[in-house]
């Protein structure tokens, strides 16, 4: 059965974002936020299995068909949160839910913590807590980021002779994912280039962050959540790096699901998408 997906553009005051739109006009409003270096195709298998939802799956700034930040800007999590909020404003959504994977899950958590009156539900996949640095690490982190910015003009994006070569590169970079998942992401993430294809994503996305929150900052945000939260952790996904982090998750009123599969379990195959959907359906069915 074919699934209707509408391509839309969202003109924010500072940037234009692209998105896929799923579901009925009167469905529950949900913003879907993908992971780092992914795009809206991240939800191509999952969104059609969540009946009754009006899902806007964004290409985050710097990803997919969305615009890039202006020269001199970076990609901090809080700017993604502002983008998501402005999208909700443009859509006329006073209250909405967030569906996030990896980086998108961290952005969703921060937005829900900061503005609990706006966010109804959080459905998170293999992500919740942003990467942190303690205060004493800040000078070194900033130094590395500044040097990387200086070196950026000398870097060139890789060019692949074919889409298949680009898919192979994606299969061997970062967290493992299925070939089908890599092909879906590449279908939206690649653009023609002299000599072949290259990624649409902004090269600045691969630079080190000038600043990260401390563990105390992140804990304060997670404890500020007031909406129902359903979190799917993949057994072969991103490891929870600190025992304190897992203890924090288990100490909070978060519905926790552990499923077999890797970091992209919601995209790797239909079975994984179905399992994730089954975890989230009770969340969205609740009054």
DSSP 159-171: -BSSHHHHHHHHH
Higher pLDDT, 247 or 107: 107
| pLDDT surpasses 50 at 64 | yes
pLDDT per residue as tens digits for the range 72-111: 999 999 999 999 999 999 999 999 999 999 999 999 999 9
Q: How confident is the model at residue 182 (pLDDT cuts 50, 70, 90)?
A: very high
Looking at residues 183-204, what average pLDDT do you find? 97
Is 187 annotated in the active site? no
| pLDDT surpasses 90 at 189 | yes
pLDDT at 239: 79
pLDDT at 243: 75
b or e along 45-75 (b: 16 or more beta carbons within 10 Å of the residue's beta carbon)? Answer: bbbbbbeebbbbbbbbbbbbbbbbbeeeeeb
Which is it for the CA torsion 3, 6, 7, 11, positive or negative?
Answer: negative
In the chain, beta strands by DSSP E = 6-11, 16-22, 28-33, 53-58, 96-101, 119-125, 190-193, 196-199, 229-236, 254-262
pLDDT at 238: 86
Q: How confident is the model at residue 2 (pLDDT cuts 50, 70, 90)?
A: low
Helix/strand/coil for 7: strand
Fold annotation for 6-133+213-285: Rossmann fold (3.40.50)
Q: 92: which residues sit within 8 A by CB, 6+ positions away? A: none
Active-site residue identified among 102, 106, 209, 245: 102
Say which range, 59-73, 191-205, 227-241, 267-281, has the weakest mean pLDDT: 227-241
What's the rounded Cα separation, in Å, for the pair 239 and 233?
9
Q: Strands 16-22, 53-58: parallel, antiparallel or unpaired by DSSP? A: antiparallel
pLDDT at 193: 93
The model's pTM is 0.97
pLDDT at 246: 85
Q: How confident is the model at residue 241 (pLDDT cuts 50, 70, 90)?
A: low
């Amino acid at each position: 059965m074919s699934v209707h997906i509408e391509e839309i553009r969202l003109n924010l005051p500072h940037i234009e974002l692209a998105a896929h739109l799923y579901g009925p006009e009167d469905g529950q409003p949900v913003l879907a936020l993908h992971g780092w270096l992914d795009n809206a195709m991240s939800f191509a298998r999952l969104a059609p299995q969540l009946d009754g939802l009006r899902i806007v799956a964004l290409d985050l700034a710097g990803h997919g068909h969305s615009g890039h930040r202006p020269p001199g800007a970076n990609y901090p999590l809080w700017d993604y949160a502002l983008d998501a909020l402005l999208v909700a404003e443009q859509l006329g959504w006073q209250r909405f839910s967030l569906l996030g994977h990896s980086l998108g899950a961290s952005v969703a958590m921060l937005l829900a913590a900061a503005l609990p009156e706006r966010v109804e539900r959080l459905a998170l996949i293999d992500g919740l807590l942003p990467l942190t640095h303690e205060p004493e690490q800040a000078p070194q982190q900033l130094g590395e980021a500044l040097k990387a910015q200086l070196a950026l003009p000398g870097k060139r994006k890789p060019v692949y002779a074919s889409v298949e070569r680009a898919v192979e590169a994606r299969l061997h970079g970062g967290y493992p994912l299925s070939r089908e998942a890599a092909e879906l992401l590449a279908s939206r993430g690649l653009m023609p280039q002299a000599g072949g294809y290259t990624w649409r994503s902004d090269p600045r996305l691969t630079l080190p962050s000038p600043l990260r929150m401390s563990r105390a900052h992140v804990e304060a945000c997670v404890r500020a959540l007031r909406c129902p939260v359903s979190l799917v952790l993949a057994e072969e996904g991103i490891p929870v790096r600190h025992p304190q982090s897992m203890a924090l998750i288990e100490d909070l009123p978060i519905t926790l699901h552990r499923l077999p599969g890797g970091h992209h379990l919601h995209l790797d195959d239909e079975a994984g998408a179905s399992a994730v959907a089954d975890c989230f359906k009770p969340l969205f069915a609740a009054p």
